[in-house]
Structure 1
Amino acid sequence: MRISTAQYYATQAAQYQRNYSKTVATANEASSLQRINTAADDPIGAGRLLKLGQQAAMLDQYNTNINSTKSALNVQESTLDAITTALARAKDLSLAANNGTATDKDRQAYAAELGQIQQQVLGLMNSKDADGNYLFSGSKTDTAPYSQNADGTYTYNGDQTTINLGIGDGMTVGTNTTGWDAFQQTINTGRTSTQMTAPAVDDGRVVLSNGTVGTAATYNSRFSGGQPYTVSFVSSTQLKITDALGNDVTSEASQNGAIVNTTGTNQSVSFRGVDLKLNINLKAGDTNPDAVIAGHSFQLSTTPDSFTTARSPGNPSTAVITGSSITNQAAYTAAFPQGGAVLKFTSATAFDLYAAPVTADSKPVSSGTVAGGNATAAGVTFALGNTPAAGDQFSIQPNNHQTQNVLDTLGQMITAMNTPIDGDPVAKQKFQGVMEAGLGNIDAATNQIGASVTAIGARGQSLDMQNVTNQSLSTANTTTQGSIRDSDPAEVMTRLTLQQTMLQASQLAFSKISQLGLFNKI
């Protein structure tokens, strides 16, 4: 077979070019010690490296999320610990104020310090992080969690949203603690009330406290179904309790309703999970205790819902809601929006009640007209100050008193401490009842905060465990990428030397063979 000179030159040039390209590629590999520098070096390997790189980037993001979440949770835990410390001091002050030897002046001093603690706790509840975001507002990080109402109570302005971040494949963790969980769901131990029904004018001989919930499970299962109860004193040593249907349920009271008639004795009566403080105050000349004590009676029930109202700043009139009360329990239970309502006036006398928030397609749950300066909607009567106008709106938030934030509890205790009771045994006994309910609520608030701290600790453990897992995955990822991408230095250098030698030999052979033409022999 004949091979032309031109064909020979072309073949040798192509072969040389291929060998040269291989040598250059090997030289680059020797320089970087990476087997894959472009996708053309190993398409399959490059694809695997791309996926591994994506996993590595995700693991880095998980690590960033874990670190930021740890930092956020540490700030929240420190803040909650500070609130717990403040509440411990508030409890000490309350116990001192409730001591029988304290005077009005002492209690006022305690109230002043308790007011400072209340403001300290409020400030801590409204704490911000390093970025200026409120810690306990849920997703509403630019809104202060708590604000004070015109009546001195406090309202939670945040939401119940937990902000989650991914910390692993298919695993997320909450980065925040909402004020709803940490503070707003504190069980209110003082959610029952008593009202004297006989005699018509309180003679001070029998003082029965509003009661505190001592056993929540018994209260929830037994108390509500039978209210309102009537507590009647049949003698100075025996009381009788009947439920709403008139059934005698005295057997469920402690000591079957037996009491003592010693003046000033602070005794407890427990009934269906509620602990009541009872004091008998005989007066000079009461030679027959049964005659003066028998006939006293009280109504015992769950504290009725109350309402926080606020007028819209854009109202065209100066009308305000000066008071509110439930006047039809059945209608209230059936129709009033428990998540909040909006009262809107369409004229000076006509109004509609909507469930909040009001949207374009909202329909009223109740409508009516003003009568005697009152607007009654869904079983609730609202007393109006001044005449409303078309376009007036009022926001209404019901409170069923099942829970109570600790700011309101401290406010109630401060008010009680500032009320003079020296020389008035009846007032003192009522004060003690208020303080015992407040102390119970402080304990409940501390427990609620403790539960939030425990939840933070559990999340912290999850973060630590997932961080170890992510570190292991990251190490394995790095090793796998190295096994695919990195070169063996000894093998690369040996291959480079061989390719360079072969290239030099190829050059020398081409030079010798190119001189073997016929013209060189003439």
Structure 2
Amino acid sequence: MRISTAQYYETQAANYQRNYSNAVATSNEASSLTKINTAADDPIGAGRLLALGQQSAILEQYKGNISSTKSALNLQETTLDAINTALARAKELGLAANNGFKTDADRSAYAEELGQIQQQVLGLMNSKDADGNYLFSGSKTDTAPYSQNADGTFTYNGDQTQINLGIGDGLTVGTNTTGWDAFQQTINTSRTQTAMTAPAVDDGRVVLSNGTVGTAATYNAKFSGGQPYTVSFLSSTQIKITDALGNDVTAEASQNGVISNSNGANQTVSFRGVDMKLNINLKPGDTNPDAVIAGHSFQLSASPDSFTTARSPGNPSTAVITGSTITNPSDYTNTFPANGSTVLKFTSATAFDLYAAPITADSKPISSGTMVGGNAVAAGVTFAIGGTPASGDQFSIQSNNHQTQNVLDTLGQMITALKAPIDGDPVAKQKFQGTMESALGNIDSAVNQIGTAVTSIGARGQALEEQSTTNDSLTAANATTQSSIRDSDPAEVMTRLTLQQTMLQAAQLAFSKISQLSLFDRI
């Protein structure tokens, strides 16, 4: 085979260029200690590095999510702890005020401090984070969770939405605590009432409190089905309880209905999960206690639903709803929405429709009618209207079944009770004590509910810690794998570079020697 001079030069030039490129590449690798600078260096390795880089970015995002969630949960826990501290002081005041030796002036002073506590708790419930978002409004972070109504009660304006962030592959955690969970689901221990049915004029000899729910399971299972109950005093030492059908259920009362006729004794009668305070107040000259106590009777029942109403800001008229009362229990039970939210809309000065809230384009009224004598009757509820409505007037209505009660309303009830004068009136004082015991029970219930929320925060915090440890391990493994693919061994690189440089120098020398040879030298 014959090789031309041109071919020889081209072959040697190509080999030299390839060796030179390899030496330059190795030199760059020695400088950066990185094996893969472009995808062409190692297509498979570059693909793996890309996937590992994406995983690293996700892990970094998880790290940021965990950090921000920890901060949010810590702030929520601190706020809830502050609310619990305020409620502990409110309970101290309630217990002190319930002391029979306190005066109206003492109770008034307690009411003033409770008012300050109520405002403090309201402010804490409406707390914001560093970004100006409300802590306890759910997803409605720009809406204050609690506002006060015209009647002094408080309404929750947030929602029940939990905001979740990813903290690991397929794993999310809630970053917020809603006011619904922390405050609105507080079990109301004061959801029963008593009303004297005989004698027609209260003589003050028998005081029976509205009662508190002491055993919720028994109350839920037995009380509602038999109400209203009649509590009859057969003598000064025996009561009889009958249910709505007239069945004698006294055997389910504490001590089978046996009571004490000790004058002014504060005793407890328990029945189907409800604890009622009972006082027998004998008067001077009552030589026969049985004769003066027998014949007294009370009706015991669950507190009926109440309603919070508000007129829409854009109403054409100035009409307002001044009162709301259930007048047809059957219609109310069968028609009124389960969530308790409705809108009363007037189509003229007298005609109206009641809708389940919120009203949408395809909403149909659940009840319609015409106002008579200033009253609008819809879904078993009579709404008293003050003023003359106009077409287009709307009123939002929210029912309250009293199964739960936020602590702001409980504090409000305590303040009202403390401000009422009772000095020199034993009967009023006994009723006051029953009211305060119910309120104290609700404060305990509120603290328990907040405790449940704090426990949830703690559980999520623990999950964050555990996942953070897992993510750190994954991040370390990711970095190690990337390094094994991307980074060079300094010793190996320097050895390879020395070899390539030596080969390049040898090739240069060989080329220069061979290029000097010619066939003419052999003639």
> TM class, shorter-chain normalised?
over 0.9
* Structure 1 match to 2:349: 348
* Structure 1 match to 2:386: 385
* Structure 2 match to 1:481: 482
* Structure 2 match to 1:329: 329
Distance 1:330 1:43 in 2: 77
* Structure 2 match to 1:396: 397
Matched residue type, 1:205: R
* Structure 2 match to 1:77: 77
Is residue 163 of structure 1 aligned with residue 163 of structure 2? Answer: yes
Matched residue type, 2:274: V
For structure 1, the 5+ residue unaligned runs are none
* Structure 1 match to 2:454: 453
Partner-residue secondary structure (3-state), 2:159? coil
* Structure 1 match to 2:24: 24
Query: What do the CA deviations read for 1:493-513 (whole angstroms, capped 9, x no partner)?
Result: 010111111111111111111
Query: What do the CA deviations read for 1:376-399 (whole angstroms, capped 9, x no partner)?
Result: 111111000011110000000000
Mapping for residues 88-99 of structure 1, pairs under 5 Å: 88-99=88-99
Query: What do the CA deviations read for 1:79-99 (whole angstroms, capped 9, x no partner)?
Result: 111110100000000001000
Distance 1:92 1:113 in 2: 11
Matched residue type, 1:207: V
Matched residue type, 2:449: Q
- Higher deviation after alignment, 503-512 or 467-476: 503-512
Partner-residue secondary structure (3-state), 1:290? helix
- The answer as to whether partners of 1:182 and 1:452 remain within 8 angstroms in 2 is yes
Partner-residue secondary structure (3-state), 2:12? helix
* Structure 2 match to 1:298: 298
Is residue 372 of structure 1 aligned with residue 358 of structure 2? Answer: no
How far apart are 1:263 and its partner, in Å?
A: 1.8
Distance 2:117 2:200 in 1: 40
Distance 1:521 1:202 in 2: 147
* Structure 2 match to 1:172: 172
* Structure 1 match to 2:63: 63
* Structure 1 match to 2:185: 185
Q: Give RMSD over aligned pairs.
A: 1.0
Partner-residue secondary structure (3-state), 2:494? helix
In the superposition, the TM-score normalised over structure 2's length comes to 0.99
Is residue 507 of structure 1 aligned with residue 505 of structure 2? Answer: no
Is residue 467 of structure 1 aligned with residue 484 of structure 2? Answer: no
- Higher deviation after alignment, 365-374 or 287-296: 287-296
Query: What do the CA deviations read for 1:306-362 (whole angstroms, capped 9, x no partner)?
Result: 000000010001110000010111111111113200000011111111111111111
* Structure 2 match to 1:283: 283
Distance 2:223 2:352 in 1: 37
Query: What do the CA deviations read for 1:235-260 (whole angstroms, capped 9, x no partner)?
Result: 11111001111110000000100111
* Structure 2 match to 1:208: 208
How far apart are 1:519 and its partner, in Å?
A: 4.9
Distance 1:192 1:418 in 2: 23
- The answer as to whether partners of 1:338 and 1:398 remain within 8 angstroms in 2 is no
* Structure 2 match to 1:228: 228
Distance 1:245 1:97 in 2: 40
Partner-residue secondary structure (3-state), 1:112? helix
Matched residue type, 2:112: A
Distance 2:369 2:157 in 1: 30
- The answer as to whether partners of 1:137 and 1:179 remain within 8 angstroms in 2 is yes
Query: What do the CA deviations read for 1:84-125 (whole angstroms, capped 9, x no partner)?
Result: 010000000000100010000000000000110110111111
Distance 1:338 1:434 in 2: 29
Matched residue type, 1:368: G
Matched residue type, 2:255: Q
Distance 1:371 1:181 in 2: 41
Distance 1:143 1:521 in 2: 102
Distance 2:510 2:245 in 1: 119
How far apart are 1:192 and its partner, in Å?
A: 0.4
Matched residue type, 2:211: G
Partner-residue secondary structure (3-state), 2:337? coil
How far apart are 1:521 and its partner, in Å?
A: 6.3
Query: What do the CA deviations read for 1:423-468 (whole angstroms, capped 9, x no partner)?
Result: 1111101100100000000000011111111111111111111111
Mapping for residues 35-74 of structure 1, pairs under 5 Å: 35-74=35-74
Distance 1:520 1:152 in 2: 119
How far apart are 1:131 and its partner, in Å?
A: 0.8
Moved over 3 A (4+): 518-522
Matched residue type, 1:68: S
In the superposition, the TM-score normalised over structure 1's length comes to 0.99
Partner-residue secondary structure (3-state), 1:387? coil
Distance 1:333 1:514 in 2: 110
Distance 1:374 1:521 in 2: 132
Partner-residue secondary structure (3-state), 2:195? strand
- Higher deviation after alignment, 172-181 or 289-298: 289-298
Partner-residue secondary structure (3-state), 2:282? coil
Mapping for residues 439-450 of structure 1, pairs under 5 Å: 439-450=440-451
Query: What do the CA deviations read for 1:480-504 (whole angstroms, capped 9, x no partner)?
Result: 1111111111110010111111111
Partner-residue secondary structure (3-state), 2:77? helix
Query: What do the CA deviations read for 1:35-82 (whole angstroms, capped 9, x no partner)?
Result: 111110100011111111111111111111111111111111111111
